[in-house]
């Protein structure tokens, strides 16, 4: 049975403040609506020096919104701006339809995508904190009996519209999240103690992070041409052809005007990226607003105190651009197609070069009978060469390891003794 999509009218106001990215933002709103299983039947835009304080679009445009919503038999109005509780109420009363904003739409998509316990808790916390100041006068919107866009997750229809109840719920979710975060921190610490080289994938939503994770690790994660296809962070092991073992962590995609509630709620998840040895900033090379998307990610990285982590920019979707005419803006970088085998080889070589820049070179001599140690060395460090020296009856092993590596020191001590 095919689920009937909700008919949606989207509304945006272009002002002096947002004119540089307004068109891209409206395109994104259409994609977000589609991801939330809605169908945009009409797009209403207006140019103003600044938004109207009561209705964002002013009286004339509000009348047009009412007419178009009726003509297209719309079920829902979505504004491309965060609405105050008062604005939402005034517009909803005038149009006679539920009204949500971009923030609520993104929260709704996150509620659809969350799979892990931590992901669900983080989304619930973000939704509750968004809902709390919007309780007064929201009775009509909150009681949308069929559910639909904006009502997923803990669900506004299932929540008592009582401030004390919501605050208690927020406190309970935060307490539960702390327990989950403690478990995540223990795992993180364990990886650090084991001295495993950690690579993190970051980037604008739908840039191809999950595709790259699948390409390198055969992780078989959910990868689709949708915004926020990945929500829960996923860490997988990846072995280089030489045997070197690293971990790769995929994280939630960034987006223009990512809701503050989400950044706060997902702080522990995003912290995963702060502890990486290397970040792969995945960029959709074919995106018309590529530079704007790059700037959005870099700005959020700055806010999350990640600017000191080494970064390799991976320009993905090379099959959709003219390689000769493509001009990169971030360095170091590599242009690849994550859907090709050659892309895998190019990316592996580029990552290997970055790792060699970050690690310390070493030379070890292993006796010919130390096969087990050699196998362990290949797994724990990036081995570039192994040569059997007949005069010494031993292997000369050259490679790269972390400068703080207790493991290399231990191995050297064992061989010396």
Binding-site positions read: 203-210, 228-232, 250-253, 316-319, 337-339
Cβ contacts of 402 within 8 Å, gap of 6 or more: 195, 197, 359, 360
**Could you tell me the residue range of the domain that residue 400 belongs to?**
360-416
Give 254's contacts (C-beta < 8 A, 6+ positions apart).
202, 203, 204, 205, 296, 297, 300
Q: How many whole angstroms separate alpha carbon 318 and alpha carbon 326?
A: 9
302 and 214 both lie in a single domain: yes
Q: What is the model's pLDDT at position 277?
A: 93
> Is 85 part of a structural domain of the chain?
yes
For residue 210, what pLDDT band results from cuts at 50, 70 and 90? confident
Last residue of a domain, one of 64, 93, 110: 110
Q: Report yes or no on 140 lying in a domain.
A: no
Q: Does any domain span residue 237?
A: yes
For 96-110, 154-168, 242-256, which range has the lowest pLDDT when averaged over its residues?
154-168
- Distant-in-sequence, close-in-space partners of 72: CB < 8 Å, separation ≥ 6: 7, 9, 41, 42
pTM of the model: 0.82
- Top pLDDT among 68 and 149 is at 68
Phi-psi bin for 326: left (phi > 0), alpha (psi -120 to 50), beta?
beta
In whole angstroms, give the CA distance from residue 9 to residue 30: 10
Q: Residues at the annotated binding site for Mg(2+)?
A: 210, 230
Q: 369 lies in a domain?
A: yes
Tell me which of 17 and 190 has the higher pLDDT.
17
283 assigned to some structural domain: yes
Residues 309, 275, single domain; the answer is yes
Indicate if the pLDDT at residue 148 is higher than 80.
no
Tens-digit pLDDT profile for residues 336-376: 999 888 999 999 999 999 999 999 999 988 888 888 888 88
CB atoms within 10 A of CB 47: 10
Instruction: Please report the pLDDT score of residue 137 as a whole number.
Output: 46
Q: Say how far apart CA 222 and CA 220 lie, in whole Å.
A: 7
Residue 221 sits in the same domain as residue 319: yes
Q: What is the mean pLDDT of the chain?
A: 84
Residues 351, 250 share a domain: yes
Spatial CA neighbour of 336 closest among 324, 318, 311: 318
Residues 242 and 347 in one domain: yes
In a domain, 318, yes or no: yes
Q: Which residues are documented as binding site for GTP? A: 203-210, 228-232, 250-253, 316-319, 337-339
| Same-domain pairing of 231 and 351 | yes
Q: Which residue bears the tokens 């506004």?
A: 156
CATH, residue 75: 3.40.50.11060
For residue 211, count other CB atoms closer than 10 A to its CB. Answer: 22
Q: How many domains does the chain have?
A: 3
Contacts of 189 (CB under 8 A, 6+ apart): none
Tokens of 201: 């994938």
Whether 342 and 383 share a structural domain: no
The answer as to whether 150 is a domain residue is: no
Q: Are residues 227 and 315 in the same domain?
A: yes
């Amino acid at each position: 049975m095919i689920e009937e999509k909700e008919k949606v009218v989207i509304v945006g106001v272009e002002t002096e403040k947002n004119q540089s990215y307004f068109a891209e933002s409206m395109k994104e709103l259409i994609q977000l609506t589609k991801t939330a299983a809605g169908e945009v039947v009409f797009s209403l835009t207006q140019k103003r020096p600044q938004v109207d304080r009561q209705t964002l679009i002013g009286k004339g445009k509000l009348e047009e919104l009412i007419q178009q919503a009726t003509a297209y038999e719309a079920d829902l109005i979505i504004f491309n701006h965060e609405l105050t509780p008062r604005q939402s109420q005034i517009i909803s009363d005038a149009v006679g339809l539920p009204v949500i904003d971009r923030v609520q739409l993104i929260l709704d998509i996150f509620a659809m995508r969350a799979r892990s316990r931590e992901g669900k808790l983080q989304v619930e916390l973000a939704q509750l904190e968004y809902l709390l100041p919007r309780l007064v006068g929201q009775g009509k919107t909150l009681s949308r009996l069929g559910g639909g866009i904006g009502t997923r997750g803990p669900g506004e229809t299932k929540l008592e519209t009582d401030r004390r109840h919501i605050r208690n719920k927020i406190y309970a979710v935060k307490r539960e999240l702390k327990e989950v975060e403690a478990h995540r921190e223990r795992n993180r610490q364990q990886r650090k103690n084991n001295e495993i080289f950690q690579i993190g994938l970051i980037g604008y939503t739908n840039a191809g992070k999950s595709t790259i994770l699948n390409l390198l690790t055969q992780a078989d994660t959910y990868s689709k041409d949708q915004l926020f296809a990945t929500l829960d962070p996923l860490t997988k092991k990846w072995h280089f052809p030489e045997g070197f073992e690293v971990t790769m962590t995929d994280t939630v995609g960034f987006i223009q005007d990512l809701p503050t509630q989400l950044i706060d709620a997902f702080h522990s998840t995003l912290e995963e990226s702060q502890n990486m040895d290397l970040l792969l900033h995945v960029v959709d090379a074919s995106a018309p607003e590529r530079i704007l998307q790059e700037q959005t990610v870099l700005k959020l990285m700055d806010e999350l105190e990640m600017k000191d982590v080494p970064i390799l920019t991976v320009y993905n979707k090379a099959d959709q651009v003219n390689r000769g005419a493509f001009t990169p803006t971030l360095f170091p970088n590599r242009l690849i197609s994550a859907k090709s085998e050659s892309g895998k080889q190019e990316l592996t070589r580029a990552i290997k070069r970055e790792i060699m820049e970050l690690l310390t070179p070493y030379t070890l001599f292993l006796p010919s009978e130390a096969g087990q140690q050699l196998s362990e060395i290949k797994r724990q460090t990036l081995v570039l060469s192994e040569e059997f020296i007949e005069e010494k009856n031993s292997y000369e092993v050259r490679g790269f390891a972390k400068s703080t590596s207790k493991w290399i020191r231990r191995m050297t001590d064992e061989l010396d003794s």
